[in-house]
Amino acid sequence: MPQLQAAQIPVTPFQQNCALVWDAETGRGTVVDPGGDVPRILAALDKAGVTVDRILLTHGHLDHAGGAAGLKRELEARQGGAVPIEGPDRRDAFLLESLADQGERFGIEGLENVTPDRWLAEGETVSIAGQDFAVLHCPGHTPGHVAFVSTALGVAVVGDVIFRGSVGRTDFPYGDHAALIAAIKGKLLPLGDEIRFLCGHGPGSTFGEERRSNPFLNEQD
């Protein structure tokens, strides 16, 4: 079993957890949701001694995707090879096309619009630090939100779908609370109580702990 390591790098004024996951033996890794503060992400990569093979996006909000284009450009110049951006689902294209405008609206400089090298869809797989993770479409927070899960490793990267003790916001014009809860209960929790997850804000948890104690998952239908 590979020795995967993970680090969370808080970025943007929203303190979004940009995730760095890498194989300790090979030194190759993947960056998930580089929302901004690219120099901070690069410093973390240098400290860990990681060579990045790809950048993954769970969804199109500025604090998760706003630094992706800049990070890709910096990494390709430093590493001398392609670093593709993959995800989210194509239904978040309208958000990725307005990242610079989102940044201006919130007073965050340096965010860039981005078009992924590969859109993702339910049932596909992605490579994170050389390991296969299943792609699950989990809409509600945004229409094209995806999560990445490896049941073999017992790990999931869920973006803003679920948090410790909470769930993603849905008070956007395109938000859908019922769809969000359906995705959590129908796709994530059945994967097993032991699955540990990294999320976009705050500390991670396990699906079992959230199934038992998360108040948003115990509301009356």
Is the separation of the CB atoms in 156 and 150 below 8 Å? yes
pLDDT value, residue 1: 55
**Structure token pair of residue 215:** 């108040």
Tens digit of each residue's pLDDT (9 = 90 or more) over 107-127: 998 999 999 999 999 999 999
Average pLDDT, integer, range 137-151: 99
Task: Return d(Cα 145, Cα 161) in angstroms, integer.
Answer: 8
Decide if pLDDT at 221 tops 70. no
Could you list the beta-strand ranges (E) of 24-145: 28-32, 51-56, 85-86, 125-128, 131-137
- The CATH architecture annotation of domain 4-217 reads 4-Layer Sandwich (3.60)
Q: What is the 3-state secondary structure (H, E, C) of 34-103?
A: CCCCHHHHHHHHHHHCCEEEEEECCCCCHHHHCCHHHHHHHHHHHHCCCCCEECCCHHHHHHHCCHHHHH
Q: Which residue has the higher pLDDT, 3 or 161?
A: 161
Q: At 16, give phi and psi (nearest 5°).
A: -80, 140
Decide if pLDDT at 220 tops 80. no
Tens digit of each residue's pLDDT (9 = 90 or more) over 53-100: 999 999 999 999 999 999 999 999 999 999 999 999 999 999 999 999
Cut 0.95: pTM above it? yes
Q: DSSP alpha helices (H): ranges in 99-176?
A: 99-105
Task: Return d(Cα 85, Cα 70) in angstroms, integer.
Answer: 11
Amino acid identity, position 81: G
Decide if pLDDT at 47 tops 80. yes
pLDDT value, residue 30: 99
Is the separation of the CB atoms in 138 and 158 below 8 Å? yes
